[in-house]
Amino acid sequence: MSDAPDTDHATKLVLGEHRWRVLGVAFAVGLTSAWLAEPTLFGGGPAGIGLALLLISPVLVALLGGVVVNSGPSLHAVGLFAAALAVLPWVAVRSAPALLALDLLAAVGLVAVGVYRYRVDTPSMSLFDHLRVVCWAPIGVLVEPFRFVRDDLEGTGASIRPTTRVRGVVRGLALAIIPVLVFGALLASADAVFSDIVGSVFRVDLGGFFEIGGVALLVGWVVIGLLRFSLGRWPLIEIPRGTGYLGTTEVVTVLGTLAGMFALFVGIQFAYLFGGADTIRGTRGLTTAEYYRQGFFQLVAVAALVTLLVLVLDWWHRTPERTPHRAVVVLFEALIGLTAVMVVSALVRLYVYVDAFGISRLRVYTAAFVVWIAALLILLAASVARGRRDRFAPGAIITAFVVVLTLNVVNPDALIARVNIDRHIDDGAELDIGYLGTLSEDAVPTIVDQASGPMCAELLEIAIDIAGEDQRGGFRTFNWSRSGADAAVFGVDVSERC
């Protein structure tokens, strides 16, 4: 990947004309974000509104780039930034670590593609192009501020003294801020005497100064990087196919062989998976739950690999000048259809297994992944198999966003608590108290509401332990789930309730 010199010069001119506005916005956003997130990052407080706003602010600046540098984003970029802004506030709503990590991963991916597609004339991209951009754009965003200091700030020292040396010193000082803050924070934490002496000389809390200053600089750095990267042109290098395109005969042979094997497997699924428990026990001596558990993750892996295989074969076989051969299209759709049956089989297995053994985080997130794979299979049949490959990538991004947003709305930890406790109360199933204790504050109101019967006291004590002490410490660490957990256990008397 490389940038053309003329377009890079154009980017330089755009940011150079507004360099003071860009620096002002970066400084203000960085300092404000650092103050908002300080209790979470350095005060030992939990994630809340402050951290969410720190993550939201750079994305918001990129979305409003037209106000800062008079060059607004394309419609594609607006949609991607808006989707990221719809995901990030959940950091202040949910507290389950896995869900928060998924939210951050989704937001980074959306913003990465958004800054790449910022320009109106950005060409269409394949799914593989999107994956390359997601891996590369964050690095580009972190590198671009160096170019801003080197190129866009050229002439900043001219008003002081129009010499090359002065301008070099100004740019050198700008570049020195990062290592000074990083090494200063390390040295201050390594030696208390050094920290006290320097702090007394400058009459500041050296540790706090480096902490707040470092976060403010990082956020401001990202703001500048997002703006500068967005305005550049970054053509993706075409991936060569090696010796040429794959012939129709080879593709038909591969697809036909796999389709035959998949058809045999699907036939067995109808005979055994949908044939009832007696058929399973009579053949392998397995219980129904054991049989259903046995192949769930393998079927999920098969569905994911088939999606990848179809994309690779289509890319390797189809030339820009020709449409796929009819036999290839038929076999593509046959393979996708057979894989869809496997996806249904996987979901049935999961449903029966949950009914027998309960639900867990792994099963919830895997089920969400299976639903996304099912959506991808539909997209494959409607786009790639019919020669409309360019429609697949946007659909894949939209469906992934919908799955992540749905998980936040559903609240997996609360769902886990509700299903497992209901199984215990209604069916007498064994309840794993230890596993309930590993859930986040998202599950506390559900546990309290459903606490009854012989295990009422244990459930309430688990809810109280999960909620823990009130650590909110002001609005900057406010989190909806923790607030709900505090309210649910506040004033609860285990002896009176149970």
pLDDT tens digits, one per residue of 418-472: 999 988 888 888 888 888 889 999 999 999 888 887 888 888 888 888 887 655 5
492, pLDDT greater than 60:
yes
Q: Which of 476, 440, 461, 475 is nearest to 94 (CA)?
A: 440
| Burial class of residue 291 in the structure, from the number of CB atoms within 10 Å of its CB (0-12 exposed, 13-18 middle, 19+ buried) | buried
User: Exposed e or buried b for every residue in 280-289, given b needs 16+ CB within 10 A?
Assistant: beeeeeeebb
Which sequence spans correspond to the domains of the chain? 5-231, 248-409, 413-497
pLDDT tens per residue, range 181-190: 667 666 666 6
Contact present, 100 and 47 (Cβ < 8 Å): yes
**CA triplet 236, 66, 14: central angle to 5 degrees?**
65
Mean of per-residue pLDDT scores for the chain: 79
pLDDT tens per residue, range 118-148: 987 777 787 888 888 999 899 999 888 888 8
- Segment of 126-140, 299-313, 396-410 carrying the highest mean pLDDT: 396-410
Centre a 10 Å sphere on the Cβ of residue 271 and count the other Cβ atoms it contains: 11
CA-to-CA distance for 232 and 229, rounded, in angstroms?
Answer: 5
C-alpha distances (whole Å) from 134 to each of 139, 140, 141 are: 9, 10, 11
Contacts of residue 263, defined as CB under 8 A and 6 or more positions apart, other chains included, come to 338
